[in-house]
Amino acid sequence: MPSSLISPSELDYIIRGVDDNLRADGRGRLDYREVILETGLISQANGSARCRLSKGTDVLVGVKVEIGSIEIDGTDEEVAAIEAKRGRIVCNVECSPIASQQFAGRGADDINNELTQLVDRVLNGPQGGLNLEKLCIIPGEECWIVYIDALVLDYGGNILDIIFTTIRAALHNTRVPKTVIEEDKEVEISDDVEEWERIEGWELVPISVTLNKIGTRHIVDATVLEELATKAKLSVMVNKNSKICGIQKIGGGSIEHSLLNEMLQTGRSLGQNLIHNLDKMLQKEEEINAKRKIGFFASA
């Protein structure tokens, strides 16, 4: 994490603030910063979104879909039969050195790998939401591969939550071209943008709520300084059906057994609110995008 130094007095200030439910920027323990969301800003991508927290984290996600061959691994026939009928998702998270000096050179390798694996695990499993079977073109041979690339442009704490929010927004914005299979198994891609379809199941894509344990309490949406005061982080992934889609402790430090259940409860209920707000924002974005028609050959 960026600049790993914090003075004892800063630390004390943060811990006491958290204890009194009043943080340095005036928020309570479970308040989020204001989120600014834009979608459809990259015309080369099939879907894109950018999410910013006021005075902080800035994440840009581009989604590209490409045709690729279905890979079946393994010796298990039963599993192979399911895999043959599925498209797949490839995720990548990159922390740009623009965001923090810390990420220059090879400094971001570890965090990139950690975030990439985490996002990949959540989106590629059964809890990922997207209907992978709809991404299959010719069973056992060809499918759509959804490449999700997240770029962290500014670092102000709480990147994981913002990455998930942005990915969900970008998938909402993604359109997959229609395909026609010809007789000799050649795949024809339709040029008509109006026919392109959204990936089924985007609304079930989970988002993450990261709870930071500071002192004996926990807070959400921590700033950089608050993250330095954090003993242990717990990320809870939740979807629209209020199911838990993943739990992961991040960073050193341990969590008391009794506190864990409480944190999971908080994570789940906060996640519901977040998804609700995000859906509202996305609906608004869609209306704006319909008017301005960015890209899609409609600049007149």
Partner 1 sequence: MATDRRRIQGPEASVAPIILKSPNKIQLLDENLCRHNGRNLEDIRSISNGSAFIELNKTKIVCGVYGPRQTKIPAFSGKGNLNCEIKFAPFSCPKRRPPYRDSQEKELSQLIYEALTPSIRLDLLPKSTIDIYITILENDGTASCLAAAITCASVAVADAGIEMLDLVPACSASYINGHIFMDSDLIEEKRESGSLVLSYMPSLKEITHILQSGEVELNLTSQAIEQCTDSCSKIYSIMIDSLLLPIQNIK
Q: Which is nearer to partner 1, 127 or 179 (CB)?
A: 127
**Could you tell me how many residues make up the chain?**
300
Angle at 164 between CA 162 and CA 169, to 5 degrees: 95
Q: Smallest distance, Å, CB 272 to partner 1?
A: 12
Q: Tell me the C-alpha to C-alpha distance, in Å, between residue 68 and each of 32, 87, 143, 146, 227.
A: 40, 9, 6, 10, 40
| H or E element at residue 270 | helix 257-292
Kindly state the smallest distance separating residue 92's Cβ from partner 1, in Å.
10
47 versus 246: smaller Cβ distance to partner 1: 246
Kindly state the smallest distance separating residue 117's Cβ from partner 1, in Å: 4
- The minimum distance between CB 6 and partner 1, in angstroms, equals 12
Output the six-digit token pair for 58. Answer: 């800035």
Name the residue nearer to partner 1 (CB basis): 63 or 123: 123
Half-sphere exposure of 56 (CA within 13 A, CB side): 20
Q: Which is nearer to partner 1, 25 or 256 (CB)?
A: 256
In the complex, the residues that contact partner 1 under the rule CB under 8 A are 73-76, 78-79, 110, 113-114, 116-117, 121-122, 125-127, 232, 234, 239, 243-258, 260-261, 264-265, 268
Least separation in angstroms between residue 214's CB and partner 1 is 16
* Calpha distance 282→279 (Å, rounded): 5
- Give the C-alpha separation, 141 to 137, whole Å: 8
Calpha distance 136→145 (Å, rounded): 9
Q: Give the whole-angstrom CA distance, residue 22 versus residue 19.
A: 8
CB of 129 to partner 1, least distance (A): 9
Q: Of the candidates 94, 90, 279, which has an alpha carbon nearest to the alpha carbon of residue 169?
A: 279
Minimum Å gap between C-beta 11 and partner 1 is 13
Residue 49 or 245 having the CB closest to partner 1: 245
Closer of 219 and 232 to partner 1 (Cβ)? 232
CB atoms within 10 A of CB 215: 15
- Say if residue 94 is exposed, middle or buried (CB neighbours under 10 Å; 0-12, 13-18, 19+): middle
